[in-house]
Amino acid sequence: MSADNGHVLRIEQLVAGYGDTPVIRGVDVEVPAGKLVVVVGPNGAGKSTLLKAILGLVNITGGEVMLDGRPITRSPLEDLARNGVGYVPQGDAVFDSMRVRENLEMGGYLLDKALRAERLEQALELFPDLRHKLKRYVGTMSGGERRMTAVARAMMLAPRVLLLDEPTAGLSAALTKMVLTEQARMLADRGTAVLLVEQKAHAALEQADWAYVLVQGEVAMSAPGREVLEDPDMGEVFLGGGSGLLADAEPAG
Ligand SMILES: Nc1ncnc2c1ncn2[C@@H]1O[C@H](COP(=O)(O)OP(=O)(O)OP(=O)(O)O)[C@@H](O)[C@H]1O
Ligand SMILES: [Mg+2]
């Protein structure tokens, strides 16, 4: 296993943001191989910023990001991809005007042709539903199929740690469950360290091995998903956020 007590990804006392005022204020997170770790928290808590900080896309003013015990803080994105860090950003990270096959092949742009073909086959084993949709233009696909394509594309580089930013945004309750169980949970069960950021806290916490509750850039609670779900204080923490974090309201429309 890894040289870091089994933790593929470890974030230590991270301070990061966009200008002078940090958004992430001293955050510790650990993501072991084969575990689904979720970060939940209200809008603007800094969840996306945390993922961007891991990828060196925002200004880091303190702390370290470690991969298998080695610092990767502020590494160039291409080095991170080569070293096994995969990322599916918030929103649809797929190209509508391209076919599914082309989207997947783009995910393997760092690979030589033979390995790319091998990884495409592996991605289709993970997501068999995509096999007979390879020729579809992504622009004609459903929300769930698009997310599947986006995650499959990230898997082309066989990441050891996969960062997912709200993969269920805009999806119905049924598709949300499908994405969380058949994508995030399934990849963790097959050995990937998965760090999932979700606003649909209830659904995500049900699947999570471990959860961090991020509030205003700080970890307010860190515990197994079930414990966070059952903690009476956690509902309270989010009441100020409007609908309540644990409500998982259906998306409108
Ligand atoms: N590019 C940016 N420049 C300046 N400030 C930003 C930028 N992006 C985000 N912020 C600010 O950083 C804070 C955290 O934003 P972030 O997007 O990380 O929140 P989040 O937890 O992902 O929210 P959501 O659940 O809505 O996706 C917010 O106050 C936001 O306004
Ligand atoms: Mg976000």
Q: Tens digit of pLDDT for each residue in 33-67?
A: 999 999 999 889 999 999 999 999 999 999 999 99
Query: Ligand 1 within 6 A of 199 CB?
Result: yes
What pLDDT sits at residue 55? 95
Q: What is the dihedral of CA 216, 32, 225, 251, to 10 degrees?
A: 70
Confidence of residue 244 (pLDDT cuts 50, 70, 90): low
Measured CA to CA, the distance from residue 147 to residue 172 in angstroms comes to 13
Say which residue, 136 or 4, is predicted with more confidence: 136
Residue 221 pLDDT exceeds 50 = yes
pLDDT given at position 17: 96
Three-state DSSP state, 196: strand
* 130-154 pLDDT, tens digit each: 999 999 999 999 988 999 999 999 9
d(CA 188, CA 32): 10
pLDDT(71) > 70: yes
User: Is 45 a pocket residue for ligand 1 (Cβ < 6 Å)?
Assistant: yes
Which of 87-91, 152-156, 188-192 is predicted with the least confidence, judged by mean pLDDT? 87-91
The token duo for 246 is 């644990």
Verify whether ligand 1 is closer than 6 Å to residue 46 (CB atom): yes
At 111-125, the pLDDT tens digits run 999 999 999 999 999
Which residue's alpha carbon is at the smallest distance from atom 24 of ligand 1? Answer: 43
Mean pLDDT, the chain, whole residue set: 90
How much is the average pLDDT of 83-110? Answer: 92
Of 54 and 243, the one with more pLDDT: 54
Average pLDDT for 171-176 = 90
Question: What is the C-alpha separation between 103 and 126, in angstroms, rounded?
Answer: 16
- Residue 1, pLDDT > 70, answer no
Q: Is the pLDDT of residue 211 over 50?
A: yes
With a cut of 70, say whether residue 249 has pLDDT above it: no
Is residue 2's pLDDT more than 80?
Answer: no
Report pLDDT for 243. Answer: 45
Nearest CA to ligand 1 atom 1: 18
Burial 227-242 (b: 16+ CB within 10 A, else e): ebbebeebeebbeebe
Sheet with 161-165, strands from edge to edge, namely: 85-88, 161-165, 193-198, 36-40, 210-215, 218-223
Domain with CATH 3.40.50.300 in the chain: 1-84+161-253
Ligand 1 contact, 53 CB (< 6 A): no
Nearest to 93, CA basis, from 195, 33, 169: 169
Write down the pLDDT at residue 21. 87
Helix (H) and strand (E) counts for the chain? 10, 10
In the predicted structure, residue 15 carries a pLDDT above the cut 90? yes
- Report d(CA 141, CA 129) in Å as an integer: 12
pLDDT score at 38: 98
Q: What is 1-84+161-253's CATH superfamily?
A: P-loop containing nucleotide triphosphate hydrolases (3.40.50.300)
Q: Which ligand is nearest to the CA of 52?
A: 1
Specify whether the CB–CB gap between 49 and 24 falls below 8 A.
yes
Separation between Cα atoms, residue 120 and residue 115, nearest integer Å:
8
**pLDDT-based confidence at 241, cuts 50/70/90?**
very low
Mean pLDDT along residues 91-107: 91
pTM of the model: 0.91
